[in-house]
Structure 1
Amino acid sequence: MPRLLYVPIPLPNESILSILYRCAKHNGLQRLDILSSACSGLQFSSLGLPQWYLGRAHQVLRSDPLIDETDRKKIDAIFPKKVRINGQIHADYGTCQIHWSMLRNKLALCPACIKTGHLNIMHNFEFSEVCPIHGCIYITKCPTCGKTLDWVHLKDYHCPCSYDLSLASTDVVDKSYSIVVYEAFCNGNQSFLERLRHCMMMTHTISTSKQRHTIIDFCTKISLLDREIFFTEIDKIHDLTPSLHKRALLAPFLLGKDPAIRDLAIQYWCGLEQVKPEQCGNDCPCESLPLTRKELNYIFASKEEVSNLIADNKILPIPRQTPIIKSLRFYRCPNLCNTLRNNSTIEWYEKNSAAIADAVFTPITLADAGEYLKTTAYEIGRLIRYGLIKGLALPTHPFISTTKEWVKNFNDTYILKSHLDIAINYKKKPLKQLTNVLQQGLKTRLGTHPPPTVYYRKDLPSFMSKALKALADSESDVTHQHIRGKVIRKLINVRQEDMKRLQQLKILNPKYRLNEKSYFQLLYTKSDVEKGIAWRKKHKTLEEAAAIIGCEKIFLYKHFIKNKYITPIRLSMYYLTDAEVAKCSEHFNTYTTPAKASTEVGMMVEVFKKNFLDSGLLTPLPASHPHAIRNQVTLKRQDARDALENYFLDKEVPCRCIFKRRT
């Protein structure tokens, strides 16, 4: 390993590239290509390659005899480990894991940071365009020659054309949202950073925009999940494209992977009403809006129509826009607003109404709405199609949704015949003067199926209104309420086939009682609900336990249950007690197996056994050990990791990708 005259010690939150620049400068080598030659090659073929844990640059710095163990740990801490989480490569910085697409492949510099002599770690990431320390917009090109910064051939931050990059003039802007991202990274706010990445993927124009920092700020604001801020930011886009239909305006957010952002987009959709525009404005930017094929299919509500528009050259393919999603092909519709205006399937309103952020807005599924109205999800869907309940067609599951407010508005005005029958106990038929709201002129709307029978509440005679009120009072009296098995099963959150087993275990004690239709049914009481919920809180399914432990469900079964390390309750599936989950979690975090340890570094099991078990470097737990699992070779996890790290250091090759699964 080559010797250096000076090894820089990392400053707080300093980027790896900054350390390499300082190392080259203070060793009198000036440029990184010269430093690489002096160190027998530091893998400088790309910007990201020398920045990984146990890469050549890391090994040269940490193995130098000039540094002590304390400084070595500081150097180890700044180099991220390459991990694979759910099939995606991430950079593990300790506090959080950053997706590979968020790592820069081109150099970006803050002139103010250059003057201080070191660069902040946020220079490494695509989600940072403004320095959180100085508020300067990063520069990526030389102001003199106009070329992209050549990070390997910079000489003390001087471009090969001899221009001093610390003198570059750059705008100083508001850095408050850049600080938000910086603090999220330092504090390990993984969920926020993942949401920010998803939001950047929704914003396809991000790599081509001249005001890229404003789009990053926009994504940061959206990722905060503040309802008021979200509506304000979408309103700004809507003001730029007032004639653009909300299907196109909100398509990226409705189709996005983040459910929290999708819920905010659903509320905005429900509140925004647009009148059919006369024509598209001359300054409307809709013709340059990049859209994916999936978004186009949703906007036009028809795959066939999108295919026809592409064939007629009314939708044109454009070059791929953003490095975050290189594999996607993008399209633009030169006359998007007018094309949507002339589309007969697009819904317009009689007046314009702005979306208002409502804190109590809660979208619910058709099944939840059915429980509220004492009917089925199918009936709710029919009422939505007939226009009596306002509904929302979504591009993702559950595809059709409504809200509590819309269902309540229906219930305040109308009454279903099925609910009315329950109230009067099926003893009297509805009076002839009651007219079905949907009886006239709507029977053919859904083909041969007759419309649901719905009455106006104001038309009900007094005895029916009293019966409905009495039914509502009895349902609100939970002390004497008898509950059906379907309802209690959902409250306890178990499968239908598990109900009988819970009765055998004396957890539930149902009895045959008269129901509202005057025949006997197996019903439960409030006491059954309380006992069932209390039992369920203390017992976890395999999936729930795996999420708590941090392992795969199949590993939990094969490693702990199949080998009789724990004996969970067996119903239609396994249920683990809290003590069993804690026991498995402690074992999983303390011990490992040859197969698990080798998989984490991409090594074959046979190679692992040959180098560590057969050679005696690692000693398995004896069969008499209380934490030993039968039919399994059990190793201490920390010993296995230390042995693997020493193995790769001796090999002087970068560590292979570590596999993890985020639950």
Structure 2
Amino acid sequence: MSPLIFFPIPKDGESAMSLIYRCAIGNGISTNQFLLDAHNHQRNSMISVLWKAHAACNLLTSHSSFEPHEKASIQACFFTPSGPSSRSGINVAGVSFAPSVVRTDLALCPGCAREGFLNQMHAFNFSDVCPVHGELYIEKCPECKNKLEWRSINNYFCPCGFDLRLTPTVLANNHTSQLLSTALNNKDTQFFTTFIAAMTAMSFAHTCDNRSFILESCTKIATGNKTFFFRELEKLQDRFPSLHRRALLAPFLLSANPTLSQYAKEYYFSACQTRPVSHAANCQCGELVFESEEIKLIFGSNENVMALRNEHRCVYSSSRRTIRKTFQCPELCKTLYSHKDILWERDDTPAEPLHEFELLNHIAAAELLGTTPKTVRRLISSGLLKGAKLDNSSRIATTLGEVNKFNDNYALKSEIIRKSGFSNNELRTLLLNLAPIAIRTTRYARKLLVYQRKHLPEDLRQRLDRRNMNILKHLPYSSGLITFNIASERLRMPVKDVAELVRLGILKTAPGPIRRGRSHREYCTEEGMRNALIWREKHLSVSEVDEATGCDSRIIHSRFINTGYIECIWLERAYITLDDAKKINEHYRNYITTTSLYTKFRVSKSVVSGLIDAKKITPLPLCHPDSINGHTVLRLDEVNNILTEHRKSQRKISTQPKTTKPLRRIYSHYLTTPATLQSIAQSIGIESSITRK
């Protein structure tokens, strides 16, 4: 190998592949020869060559006169793992990505080739247009139509002899690529986290003809602007005008990204959609591909999905590389149109972002309306109160705005009786000529009567207003009072634990409004909720520690809490500080007690005792900071090694050949003489073996 005389210095936004091409061109050698010399004549894939640990990066930084910052700038163009290994994540230009976003084959911009260096965006499979020149990337040679072989390209000439810089220019809108390139240059990790999450959620609609539309939508969504999210979902809805929006929102509702999930919930309740009157013949809803969890959310339950599969012959498909199953439903629009659990609105209203959006479950909504959760479920099923199951849990969700809207337009008969102050006869007379809305969930269920407020007599409406009806809709904000059920939801704690926080003085309360026939009721104050949320962020329940560390709850109690190894705060359940949780995790990863040793490694107590007596395993002394009172604590790595050697020795003993024991000596007896044996044999009619011999 001849020494290199030219070493390229990276330009702004230049890719690692571009540095390799420029170095080969500057030294008058082929790309293939440069790579073979760099890696001792071993051939590698394109992805492996672009890693910082590869010999190509070492060769490019081997110039003796390079300053440290120059070497660092070259190394920054190459890929590095962002986690424990390259499979967990890949770091490109200071931003962490999933390995799947990097191209496995070469794609280049003819404009970049003409300028002599490639922009780093050509390495990503979500970039189709060069952000600098606005030209579409080419993946095949325009002359021979063969795929670009990255190793055989020399000075941007294809092996067939065609100069790739002479490729006809095909311009496209590069606004999306410019946004992505700017975010990469700014190392905007949050942008790309949301972008990848949006791409994953939009994968159900990926087809060849709408790739540019999806890329543009996901780029705008990644900015985190709620208005952009709403507008892009409207564009997607325009492509499928007769498809219920819950099918479009299901992947976003189940997204692990909290921003997308929250925006999707708000969009669902903000928009209104009427039942379509027709289904377009060219609608492509049957080509949409959903995962099993998404289709379960769309149709409500597994039972509905199985019935749907039997009735409509829905198509299931699975990928060879992954074990997840995907779901397609022919004429999905028609299926949702006739589905009994899908509710449609009475008008079409586009979604508009709200300044204050508060999601409530049906229990919290019942608390605000002064009724039962069962009644709220019936109101939602009738359509009078807007609500839906927005995840695969059993709880139905609604919003504070929808509760306020219902409270402004309707009144339950039970509410009128409780808050009006009229006698039964007076109410019967006032409501005699009014036609209430009767709701029945089943044929023989008791009717739930609901009156429209505008139809109620003026005197009755004034009485209801004087009874502090508005306290219900302003309770969480204006008065700063919050019910224990809502506090339980926000703190992720049982109601009994919330009451214990009040007893400890962490959560402050105040008396609520006086209701007819009831005494004062305590509510959590807004300031108290802030203090309680701060306290909750610093403490974990035992079940949460179990889920985070993998240490079983029983072990946490028996090994750490009951022995006093850590401090514990007892409410209705036990809570542990974050520092103590880290202490538990560290101890559980490095040590084990003899009690756990018997069950985890399936060894007897006698074996463990023998190893300890032989001093092959040394317990922690009592003065050690990690020792636990009442438990014999052992180092886990030491136990693993010793038990492995012990089992190997036991296997060797069991596989050794067994030695045959010598036969017992037969002493002479008068019955064992040949004459005696022969006479006995003749007496029973057989021939003695002694005689045969």
TM-score, normalised to structure 1, is: 0.70
Deviation at 1:109, TM superposition (A): 0.6
- Secondary structure, aligned partner of 1:35: helix
Deviation at 1:225, TM superposition (A): 4.4
Relative to structure 1, the CA distance from residue 378 to residue 106 in structure 2 (aligned partners, 3 Å threshold; closer, same or farther) is: farther
Deviation at 1:411, TM superposition (A): 0.8
Deviation at 1:133, TM superposition (A): 1.5
CA distance in 1, matches of 2:110, 2:162: 12
Match of 2:390 in 1: 394
Please give the per-residue CA displacement for 1:593-641, whole angstroms capped at 9, x wherever unaligned: 9x89xxxxxxxxxxxxxxxxxxxxxxxxxxxxxxxx9549xxxxxxxxx
CA distance in 2, matches of 1:433, 1:40: 96
Please give the per-residue CA displacement for 1:558-611, whole angstroms capped at 9, x wherever unaligned: 9xx99999978675555659xx89xx99x9xxxx99x89xxxxxxxxxxxxxxx
Match of 1:22 in 2: 22
Runs of 5+ consecutive residues of structure 2 not aligned to the other structure: 591-623, 628-693
Match of 1:373 in 2: 369
CA distance in 1, matches of 2:278, 2:532: 62
CA distance in 1, matches of 2:442, 2:522: 36
Relative to structure 1, the CA distance from residue 53 to residue 231 in structure 2 (aligned partners, 3 Å threshold; closer, same or farther) is: same
CA distance in 2, matches of 1:86, 1:221: 31
Match of 2:403 in 1: 407
Contact 1:512 1:520 (8 Å CA) reproduced: no
Contact 2:80 2:86 (8 Å CA) reproduced: no
Relative to structure 1, the CA distance from residue 145 to residue 253 in structure 2 (aligned partners, 3 Å threshold; closer, same or farther) is: farther
Deviation at 1:348, TM superposition (A): 5.7
Match of 2:350 among 339, 355, 361: 355
CA distance in 2, matches of 1:350, 1:503: 45
CA distance in 1, matches of 2:298, 2:492: 37
- Secondary structure, aligned partner of 2:133: coil
Contact 1:127 1:216 (8 Å CA) reproduced: yes
Contact 1:292 1:331 (8 Å CA) reproduced: yes
CA distance in 1, matches of 2:240, 2:510: 62
Task: Give the letter aligned to residue 359 of structure 1.
Answer: L
Deviation at 1:38, TM superposition (A): 1.3
Larger Rg: 2
Match of 2:156 in 1: 157
Contact 1:276 1:348 (8 Å CA) reproduced: no
CA distance in 2, matches of 1:129, 1:255: 28
Deviates more, 1:150-159 or 1:61-70: 61-70
CA distance in 1, matches of 2:480, 2:364: 20
Q: Does 1:459 align with 2:429?
A: no
Write the mapping of 1:495-534 to structure 2, written as runs, cut at 5 A: 496-498=495-497, 502=501, 505-507=504-506, 516=515, 523=522, 530=527, 533-534=530-531
CA distance in 2, matches of 1:461, 1:449: 32
Write the mapping of 1:76-87 to structure 2, written as runs, cut at 5 A: 76-84=75-83
Match of 1:123 in 2: 122
Deviation at 1:384, TM superposition (A): 1.0
CA distance in 1, matches of 2:254, 2:246: 11
CA distance in 2, matches of 1:317, 1:500: 49
Contact 2:88 2:98 (8 Å CA) reproduced: yes
- Secondary structure, aligned partner of 1:127: coil
Task: Give the letter aligned to residue 133 of structure 2.
Answer: H
TM-score, normalised to structure 2, is: 0.67
Match of 1:650 in 2: none
CA distance in 1, matches of 2:508, 2:247: 54
CA distance in 2, matches of 1:427, 1:484: 30
Match of 1:190 in 2: 189
Deviates more, 1:191-200 or 1:234-243: 234-243
Match of 1:622 in 2: none
CA distance in 2, matches of 1:535, 1:492: 8
Contact 1:95 1:187 (8 Å CA) reproduced: no
Match of 1:40 in 2: 39
- Secondary structure, aligned partner of 1:432: helix
Tell me how many residue pairs correspond in the alignment.
Answer: 574
Write the mapping of 1:611-630 to structure 2, written as runs, cut at 5 A: 630=625
CA distance in 1, matches of 2:484, 2:247: 44
Match of 1:98 in 2: 97
CA distance in 1, matches of 2:358, 2:442: 25
Relative to structure 1, the CA distance from residue 540 to residue 407 in structure 2 (aligned partners, 3 Å threshold; closer, same or farther) is: closer
Deviation at 1:253, TM superposition (A): 3.8
Match of 2:466 in 1: 469
Match of 2:7 in 1: 7
- Secondary structure, aligned partner of 1:89: coil
Deviation at 1:408, TM superposition (A): 2.1
CA distance in 1, matches of 2:345, 2:507: 52
Task: Give the letter aligned to residue 78 of structure 2.
Answer: F
Deviation at 1:338, TM superposition (A): 5.0
CA distance in 1, matches of 2:34, 2:374: 70
Task: Give the letter aligned to residue 49 of structure 1.
Answer: S
Could you say what the CA RMSD is over the residues aligned between the two structures, in angstroms? 5.0
- Secondary structure, aligned partner of 1:471: coil
CA distance in 2, matches of 1:514, 1:535: 23
Write the mapping of 1:519-558 to structure 2, written as runs, cut at 5 A: 523=522, 530=527, 533-534=530-531, 537=534, 540-542=537-539
Task: Give the letter aligned to residue 22 of structure 1.
Answer: R
Task: Give the letter aligned to residue 261 of structure 1.
Answer: L
Match of 1:203 in 2: 202
- Secondary structure, aligned partner of 2:184: helix
Task: Give the letter aligned to residue 46 of structure 1.
Answer: S
Runs of 5+ consecutive residues of structure 1 not aligned to the other structure: 597-628, 633-663
Relative to structure 1, the CA distance from residue 440 to residue 285 in structure 2 (aligned partners, 3 Å threshold; closer, same or farther) is: closer
Please give the per-residue CA displacement for 1:253-280, whole angstroms capped at 9, x wherever unaligned: 4444444334444555552424434453
Deviation at 1:446, TM superposition (A): 3.2
Task: Give the letter aligned to residue 192 of structure 2.
Answer: L
Deviation at 1:479, TM superposition (A): 12
Relative to structure 1, the CA distance from residue 68 to residue 487 in structure 2 (aligned partners, 3 Å threshold; closer, same or farther) is: closer
Deviation at 1:250, TM superposition (A): 4.4
Relative to structure 1, the CA distance from residue 41 to residue 104 in structure 2 (aligned partners, 3 Å threshold; closer, same or farther) is: farther
Deviation at 1:541, TM superposition (A): 2.2
CA distance in 1, matches of 2:372, 2:358: 17
CA distance in 2, matches of 1:304, 1:212: 34
CA distance in 2, matches of 1:459, 1:239: 41
CA distance in 2, matches of 1:6, 1:517: 90
CA distance in 2, matches of 1:354, 1:631: 63
